[in-house]
Amino acid sequence: MDRQNLETALLKAHSDEDYPTLITLYTKAAEGANDKDAEFFYLTHAFVFALEHGAPEAKPLNKRLADQGRAQLLEF
């Protein structure tokens, strides 16, 4: 998915309050980021949505962020 399509999909998912899709798209955006700060910006958004909605992705996202010193490792 190119950057423009990703941004369009993110806006739609926000508008639709489609949290599973937001988690997936923010994770995908992180994978395509061109620098570490952008990568972790997107991962943090994915993690917050996962936490807020009790999604199973919260644990691996937290570990990924914690492994890079971007979050504290939480117990789930």
14 inside domain = yes
Q: Where in the sequence is the domain holding 51, given as residue range(s)?
A: 3-67
pTM of the model: 0.93
CB 6 within 8 A of CB 28: yes
- Rounded Cα distance between 25 and 12, Å, is 11
Number of domains present in the structure of the chain: 1
* pLDDT per position as a tens digit, 47-73: 999 999 999 999 999 999 999 999 999
* pLDDT per position as a tens digit, 31-54: 999 999 999 999 999 999 999 999
73 inside domain = no
